[in-house]
C-alpha cells in the first residue's frame, strides 16, 4: 500500500528522533516518525520488575542548554527531577579514590601515587611533541606514564573493548578531564581539587529515565513497531512492512551502518566505508538487592582486569524510588564482550562486589538479570574519520539528515541527542524550502 506523501520521515524513536519530531511539530511541519520497537526512547527506557525500576545502565541528563532545561521541566514538572551533584570514585589497589583518578591520588599506596604524580610532572614539563597518533600516546603526553599505567590505559581498554593504541583521541577532549599541575598536587595531598568533568551534576527523573522518554514521546505521533525495510532513493520512498511512504526529506537516527544497508543504489565506496565503522556492544547485569546501599557513590570505575566489571552504578542513589524501601539496585557493566555464562560469572561478580563493599554474599541478591546493549559505544579507530568523510557527503547530496549518537556516529550525551534532534528539524525545514 502506498501512503500519502509525508514531507519529512524520521527513522528511530530514541531521544534524537523524538526531539526531531518535537521541533518539527513546533515548526508546523507534517512528518511521520517510525520506531521499530514496541516502546520509544531507544536506550533511555526504564523497566519495572518486582518493585525495582531499571534503566539501561546509567542514563543521566546533563542539561546546560536553557531550551533543553525548559523542555525537560515542561515534560514532567520541575518537582519530578532530582538535581544531583555527582559522587563517583575509582576502586583500585584495594582502595577508593575520588574521581577523576588523574587528579586524586591521595589514599593510593605511596609508590603508586608517586609513580602517577612524578609521571605527570615529567609529562607536564616535557618538550613539545607532535600530535598524538592514538589514545595511548595522548594519555602518555597529557597524563604521564603512571596515570596511564594505573588507570587511563587499562580502564579505557575495558570500556572500549580494544587497546588504546587502536583508537584516536578525537572523542576525549570533552569527556576525559585534563587536570592542571596544581590540581594534581592538591589531589595528591588530599586537598580536594575542584570538581572536574562534564558530568559533575545532572538531572534525573524520580521514576527513571524512561519517564522522560515517555513524556517526550507523548507529544509526538511516533508509530511503534514499524521498522524500515528499505529506502528507495530514486523514488524517494520509505518502504515499511505494510506500506510505502513517499517523502521529501529523510531524517535518520538509526545507527549509521544500518541506514546505509537500507539505502538503494549505494556506491561500493560508501558501502565499504560503512562496513569499516566499528562499535562495541555491552553486556551488563541489573541487580536488585535485598539490602540498602552501603556506600555513597552514584557510580564506581574499576580499571583492574582481575574484576569482571569495569563500572558499577547504583540506580537507587539516583532516586530512592527505583528500589523498594530498605533495598537497593545496581547496574554492573561487564568487560567481556562475549555472551555471559551467568552460572560461572555470578560468583566472580559477587566476589568483586564484595571487595568493593557493595554486598556480603549472593544471598543479598534478590533479582539478577543479564542485559545487552547492541550498540553501546562508537569506536573512534583509525578508519573512523575517513569512513565518515565518504558517507556524510553522499547522504548530504541526497537530502538525508543522519543524526543522534548513532546516526551521526559519535560519542555524545543525552542532551547532545536532544540538541541534534533540534538541529535536524531545522535542517529538514531548510531542505524542504529548497525542494519547494
Q: What pTM did the predictor assign?
A: 0.95
pLDDT per residue of the chain (436 residues) written in tens, 0 to 9: 788 999 999 999 999 999 999 999 999 999 999 999 999 999 999 999 999 999 999 999 999 999 999 999 999 999 999 999 999 999 999 999 999 999 999 999 999 999 999 999 999 998 888 889 999 999 999 999 999 999 999 999 999 999 999 999 998 877 788 899 999 999 999 887 667 666 689 999 999 999 999 999 999 999 999 999 999 999 999 999 999 999 999 999 999 999 999 999 999 999 999 999 999 999 999 999 999 998 999 999 999 999 999 999 999 999 999 999 999 999 999 999 999 999 999 999 999 999 999 999 999 999 999 999 999 999 999 999 999 999 999 999 999 999 999 999 999 999 999 999 999 999 999 999 876 5
Which DSSP state fits 148? I
pLDDT at 3: 84
Assigned CATH topology for domain 49-86+199-206+279-378: Polyamine Oxidase; Chain A, domain 2 (3.90.660)
Which CATH superfamily is 6-40+220-278+381-435 part of? Answer: FAD/NAD(P)-binding domain (3.50.50.60)
CATH topology agreement for domains 6-40+220-278+381-435 and 49-86+199-206+279-378: no
Q: Which grid coordinates belong to 76?
A: 514532567
pLDDT at 190: 86
pLDDT at 365: 99
Q: Residue 76 and residue 70: Cα distance in Å, rounded? A: 10
The residue to which cell 537497593 is assigned: 328
Under 8 Å between Cβ of 264 and 231: yes
Listed by start position, the domains of the chain span 6-40+220-278+381-435, 49-86+199-206+279-378, 103-188
Reply yes or no on domain 103-188 having CATH 1.10.3210.
no
Length of the chain: 436
Q: Residue 82 and residue 79: Cα distance in Å, rounded? A: 8
Q: Residue 353 and residue 284: Cα distance in Å, rounded? A: 14
pLDDT at 177: 81
pLDDT at 194: 66
Q: How many helices (H) and strands (E) does the chain have?
A: 14, 18
Amino acid at each position: 500500500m502506498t501512503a500519502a506523501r509525508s514531507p519529512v520521515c524520521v527513522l528511530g524513536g530514541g531521544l534524537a528522533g523524538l526531539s526531531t519530531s518535537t521541533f518539527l511539530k513546533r515548526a508546523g511541519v507534517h512528518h511521520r516518525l517510525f520506531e521499530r520497537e514496541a516502546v520509544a526512547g531507544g536506550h533511555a527506557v526504564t523497566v519495572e520488575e518486582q518493585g525495582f525500576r531499571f534503566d539501561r545502565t546509567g542514563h543521566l541528563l546533563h542539561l546546560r542548554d536553557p531550551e533543553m532545561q525548559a523542555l525537560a521541566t515542561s515534560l514532567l514538572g520541575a518537582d519530578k527531577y532530582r538535581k544531583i551533584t555527582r559522587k563517583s570514585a575509582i576502586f583500585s589497589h584495594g582502595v577508593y579514590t575520588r574521581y577523576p583518578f588523574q587528579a586524586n591520588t591521595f589514599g593510593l599506596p605511596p609508590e603508586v601515587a608517586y609513580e602517577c604524580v612524578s609521571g605527570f610532572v615529567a609529562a607536564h614539563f616535557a618538550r613539545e611533541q607532535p600530535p598524538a597518533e592514538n589514545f595511548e600516546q595522548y594519555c602518555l603526553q597529557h597524563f604521564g606514564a603512571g596515570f596511564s599505567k594505573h588507570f587511563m590505559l587499562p580502564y579505557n581498554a575495558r570500556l572500549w573493548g580494544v587497546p588504546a593504541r587502536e583508537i584516536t583521541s578525537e572523542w576525549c577532549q570533552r569527556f576525559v578531564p585534563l587536570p592542571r599541575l596544581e590540581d594534581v598536587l592538591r589531589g595528591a595531598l588530599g586537598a580536594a581539587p575542584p570538581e572536574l568533568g562534564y558530568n559533575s551534576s545532572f538531572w534525573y527523573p524520580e521514576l527513571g529515565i524512561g519517564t522522560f522518554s515517555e513524556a517526550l514521546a507523548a507529544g509526538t505521533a511516533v508509530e511503534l513497531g514499524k521498522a524500515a525495510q528499505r529506502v528507495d532513493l530514486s523514488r524517494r520512498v520509505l518502504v515499511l512492512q505494510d506500506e510505502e511512504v513517499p517523502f521529501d526529506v529523510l531524517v535518520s537516527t538509526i545507527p549509521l551502518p544500518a541506514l546505509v544497508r537500507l539505502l538503494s543504489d549505494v556506491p561500493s565506496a560508501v558501502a565499504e566505508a560503512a562496513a569499516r565503522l566499528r562499535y562495541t556492544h555491552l553486556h551488563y547485569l541489573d541487580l536488585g538487592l535485598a539490602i540498602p546501599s552501603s556506600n555513597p557513590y552514584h557510580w564506581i570505575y574499576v580499571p583492574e582486569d582481575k574484576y569482571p566489571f569495569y563500572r558499577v552504578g547504583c540506580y537507587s542513589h539516583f532516586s530512592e524510588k527505583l528500589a523498594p524501601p530498605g533495598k537497593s539496585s545496581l547496574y554492573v557493566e561487564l568487560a567481556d564482550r562475549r555472551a555471559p555464562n551467568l552460572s560461572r560469572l555470578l560468583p566472580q561478580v559477587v566476589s568483586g562486589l564484595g571487595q568493593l563493599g557493595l554486598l556480603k554474599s549472593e544471598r543479598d541478591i534478590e533479582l539478577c538479570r543479564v542485559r545487552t546493549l547492541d550498540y553501546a559505544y562508537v569506536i573512534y579507530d583509525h578508519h573512523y574519520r575517513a569512513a565518515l568523510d565518504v558517507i556524510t557527503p553522499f547522504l548530504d547530496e541526497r537530502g538525508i539528515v543522519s543524526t543522534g549518537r548513532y546516526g551521526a556516529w559519535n560519542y555524545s550525551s543525552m542532551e547532545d541527542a536532544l540538541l541534534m534532534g533540534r538541529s535536524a528539524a531545522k535542517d529538514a525545514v531548510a531542505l524542504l524550502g529548497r525542494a519547494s
